[in-house]
Each structure stands twice: as C-alpha cells, then as structure tokens.
Structure 1
Amino acid sequence: MRLTAVSKVYGSGERGVAALREVSAQIPQGTFTAVMGPSGSGKSTLLHCAAGLDRPTSGSVLMGGTELTSLSETRLTLLRRQRIGFVFQSFNLVPSLTVAENVTLPLKYAGVRVDQGWLEHVLHRVGLSERAGHRPGELSGGQQQRAAIARALVARPELVFGDEPTGALDTVSAREVLRLLRESVDQMGRTVVMITHDPVAAAHADAVLFLADGRIVDLDHSPTADGVARRMAHLGAWA
C-alpha cells in the first residue's frame, strides 16, 4: 500500500480543520506497521483514508495497483469486503450469533460460500475451535477479540486494519491478540496496520509511524517498547 501526499480537511474556509497534511508512506506487503501519535494527531483519519472508509481531500491511496480515491462508493464497499479486514477496540460481535456465525457473517453479506475447511483452520489458529458454537456472552474479552480477528481473516484479505485492537483487554489477552496479528503476517502473509497508544503493542510491529499535527514526523524500523515510549514522550503523549 502506498499513500502519496494524502491530506484530509474537515469543513471549508476559515473553519476547515486539517486532520492530515500531505502524508506520504509506503507499507510493504507482508509487514506489520503500527501507527502512533498524540490524541488528535490524525491516526484514525489516516486509517480511514487508507482503508477506503473516508476519502482524502487530496492525494493518492494505492492498494495493490488499485487507486482507492477514484472508486465509486459501490466499488469501495466491494473492495473492503473482498480485500480488507478490520479489528476494532469494540469487538462488534452479534450477541445472538455463535462464534462461527459471527466469523462468517461478512462472507454471507458478500454472498460468498463459506469454505468450511478454511473456517475450521482459522478458528483453530485463534484458539476457538472448541468455542465455535458459543455466543459472545459466554466468552472472555480476549476470546471475543480473537473471534473478531478470525472474522477479519476468514475472507483472506490482503490488508488487516486494527484500531486500538488491544485497548479494552487485560495484559494477558492483549498479548494473545498481538501474537495472532503477528502470526497473520509471518505465517499467513497478511499486511497489518494497527493504531495503538501502547508502546508494548507497537513493539510487536516491524515499523512504527509517528504522527503529530497530521504529519508523519518519524519512522522506527526497529521498535522496542522503551524506544517507542521515549519517542512518544517527545510528541507530547506522556509529557
């Protein structure tokens, strides 16, 4: 994925607010990238523009040869269903459905036949084979987020976007979720982009993009929890 001079302005004229300012970044296929920055730095806007959930005011978003900014809303919706997976801080599981039904729900919306063998494989990878028939209310928070990751992976997406996927979890559950995201890159060849406020979570990534005031101000290709925390302190997050 490549973003070139992506800007996003909400509103117009003197009241316009620039959330992104000519952001350019290349995210290689099969890598894990974390995005960090103080509140209001543009992290969520960057994710939304990169994932085709929002249109940039200007600039280019290229995903595997497809220019997202030129697609119609219908084609963007189709692209997101077929090529992108999402994992959010809130699990967004349907309470009345089982784990297996929740995981396969996007496939049914897209009119795609469920590959039972692949479903079983994905559930096994996230450690929920024995919980496939349970409903979300019968699962722990960590198990619910693992179900959300399975839902993101079951359509074999090229890209998985995570928006604070460990934000609502305890330390042990967060570690499990990060391990699964890391494995989806290393063993399944997916590309993961994750927004996080947690330096420990960011240290699981191959690279960390630091945002401030809508711009990329630094890039760390060898992230450690301590190094990320120090860099964030200079951006004001822990000042």
Structure 2
Amino acid sequence: MNDVVRLDAVSKVYGRGPNTVFALREVSVGIPHGSFTAVMGPSGSGKSTFLHCAAGLDQPSSGSVRLGGTELAGMNETELTELRRKRIGFVFQAFNLVSSLTVTENITLPLRLAGVRVDRAWLEEIVDRVGLAGRTGHRPGELSGGQQQRVAIARALVTRPEVVFGDEPTGALDTMTARDVLTLLREVVTTMRQTVVMVTHDPVAASYADTVLFLADGNVVDAMAAPSAEKVADRMTRLGAWV
C-alpha cells in the first residue's frame, strides 16, 4: 500500500440528540505518496474537519486514520503532538510566523522544539528551493506576504515530513503571489516527491493539484483527476456551492 494517509469509515460528530451535527460521514479515502491533493466543498461541507482528522489535529468519532503504518486513533495528545512535530508539515492561511525570529530561526523552529539538530545542507537546499536565499536574516515584518508564505512552506519541509497539509495557504495572497506559491507547492511535489494535501475554495488553486476531492454534507461525493480551473468551477456549481 502506497498511501501516506488513509482514512477508513471516518465520522466526526458534534453535539447530541437534536443538536447532533455530522461533520464527516463514513469517509474513506487514501492519499498516495508523492501526490498533490486539493480538497474542496461549500462552507460547512467538512473540509476543515477532514484536514484536522487526517492531520491528527482532531480525533474522529469513529473510523480509522493512519499515517504510514501508524494508527492515530487512541493516541493521547502528547503522542499526537510528537507525531505532528516529526512527521507532518503545516502551512496555514495566516503564515503563523514568529515576528521576533529571523527567516532561518522560523524555518528551523520545529527542529528546535523537537530537540533535533539542524542539517545545514538540507536547510540550505530548502531555502534555495523556496527562493529565500539572501533573505535568511530578515524578520517576517521585512518580507512580503508571498515571501512569508515561502518561509512557512520551508518550515513545513524542514523536518522532512511524510505529508504537508495546507489550510487555504493562498487565501491571504493576491492573485499573482498566490500563483507563485502554488507553483512552488507543485514543484515540491514533482521534484522532491513530497505529498501535499491542500484545502482550498479557489478553483485556480485546485487546478495545480493532481486530484481534487469534493466534499458535501460530510461526504466525499466526487474526485477529479487532472483538474482544470474551469472543470473544478463547473463541478462546484453542481455541488450548489459556487457563487
């Protein structure tokens, strides 16, 4: 089995009785190694819950989530924190950089928190790949939004994670900058064989992926290979989601 992440019959339920909300309903899906997967759906479709359960940020109510050969169900919060720190990378819409730290210090923060020695050659390669050579001594406030997101991507890659999860990673960027960041994520998958799973509402962003998963009412209702922005937008319209 070549899936980096595997969800089997995953449900997530909030509340009880008449107030019960099914955020995910018996979702089963595998994310192959070295793939770029976009997750789309209308507001309330379960996109964020899907990402949180797949990434070990939240525990499903039922079902199985596996990262490689590791079953996440039953892990306590300390174990999940360690797993996320060592084996998963995250890129968020808000960058989540530490303003007082330099680019290098922000990138290597996960290693320092985990007590792992920085591999200088690997760090240099990542900095070069994300286009931040010459900026490593700068602080976030001295960088553009696109450069800050590149720092966040480098930070996500520095631990050599098994998968990188992006939660609307281009949501705070203008169109041209967003395309630069998406091109970088695409290159990370193609040249570094990294696995990327990205939640997005933008059909253009989704078009950079190998596969798009469509969620509606907590279910994966469709999957599209070799997506184009036009095909994705059309499919979203028929989910009743595209305004």
Secondary structure of the residue aligned to 2:192 is coil
- AA aligned opposite 2:100: S
Alignment of 1:228 onto 2:232: yes
Matched, 1:88 2:92: yes
Aligned to 2:148: 144
User: Between the two proteins, what is the percent identity of the paired residues?
Assistant: 72
Show the counterpart of 2:136. 132
- SS across alignment from 1:69: coil
SS class of match (1:130)? coil
Q: RMSD of aligned C-alpha atoms?
A: 0.8
1:65 to 69, 74, 96: 69
Instruction: Report Cα offsets for 1:187-236 as digits up to 9, x if no partner.
Output: 11111000001101101000000000000110001211000000001112
Amino acid in the other structure paired with 1:196: T
Matches within 5 A, 1:97-176: 97-176=101-180
- The residue that corresponds to 1:14 in the other structure is 18
Does 68-77 or 154-163 show the bigger shift? Answer: 68-77
Structure 2 distance, partners of 1:60, 1:12, is 22
In the aligned structure 1, how far is the partner of 2:75 from the partner of 2:218? 24
Q: For residue 45 of structure 2, what is the amino acid of its counterpart? A: S
How many Å apart are 1:14 and its aligned residue? 2.1
Q: Distance in 1 between matches of 2:242 and 2:186?
A: 26
Q: Which amino acid aligns with 1:117?
A: A
Distance 2:80 2:194 in 1: 20
- For the residue of structure 2 that corresponds to 1:227, the secondary structure is helix
Question: How far did 1:50 drift?
Answer: 0.2
TM-score (ref. length: structure 1): 0.98
- Give the superposition deviation at 1:136: 0.5
CA distance in 2, matches of 1:123, 1:90: 20
SS at match of 1:27: strand
Alignment equivalent of 1:40, drawn from 37, 40, 44 = 44
Are residues 1:213 and 2:217 paired? yes
How far has the Cα of 1:72 moved from its partner?
2.0
| Whole-angstrom distance in 2 between the partners of 1:45 and 1:230 | 24
Provide, for residues 23-80 of structure 1, a one-character-per-residue CA deviation record: whole Å limited to 9, x for no partner.
Answer: 1111111100000000000000000000000000000111111111122222111110
Q: Which runs of 5+ in 2 are unaligned?
A: none
Aligned length: 239
Q: Which runs of 5+ in 1 are unaligned?
A: none
